[in-house]
Amino acid sequence: MEEIILELLGKSQQDHASVAEFKYRGDLRIWSRSLAADYLLISYFVNGYDTRARATSRTATEHAARRALACIVDLGDGRIVWCRFTDAQTDFVLSRDGAQEVVDRLLDAMLARGDRVDRGQ
């Protein structure tokens, strides 16, 4: 999932036409058996903070990054079939309500519009 985020941010040498060109690398068999499902929602959160020392370094923006990605993975073949990304998180992500706000922002497009890939914020 980190590879997808890097590509969305323009920080990758790769250029995929769709997230469907990505495959989840982990073993998904246990999820498929346990859930008796065809698809799995996987989320990835980066919630970095800067210290004063980091704030003066060249990589400060990476340390302070607050990003989230939610993807739907086909448990049959590991292909990622849908994703939504945001890098507009706030400090409130550490609270339950704040985290729910980010999750709602990630998933509302999928639930409202169907199975299209959404790279928006």
Residue 42 has pLDDT above 80, yes or no: yes
Torsion of CA 65, 27, 24, 3, to 10 degrees: 40
pLDDT digit string (tens) for 50-84?
Answer: 556 555 655 544 555 678 889 999 999 999 999 99
At a CB cut-off of 8 Å and minimum separation 6, what does 80 contact?
Answer: 4, 19, 20, 22, 23, 24, 71, 72, 73, 74
Please tell me which residue, 24 or 90, carries the higher pLDDT value.
24
Domain boundary assignment for the chain:
2-113
Alpha carbon distance 11, 81 (integer Å) = 22
SS3 35: helix
Average pLDDT over residues 28-56: 78
User: Facing residues of 69 across strands?
Assistant: 44, 85
Average pLDDT over residues 97-106: 83
pLDDT of residue 75: 93
pLDDT digit string (tens) for 1-33?
Answer: 888 888 888 888 888 888 888 898 888 888 888
Torsion of CA 60, 62, 63, 66, to 10 degrees: 130
Q: Are the beta carbons of 117 and 83 closer than 8 angstroms?
A: yes
Q: Give the helix/strand (H/E) hosting 110.
A: helix 96-113
Please tell me which residue, 116 or 17, carries the higher pLDDT value.
17
Entry pTM: 0.71
Q: Are the beta carbons of 110 and 63 closer than 8 angstroms?
A: no
pLDDT of residue 80: 93
Residue 116 has pLDDT above 50, yes or no: no
Single-letter residue type at 102? V
Average pLDDT over residues 76-103: 81
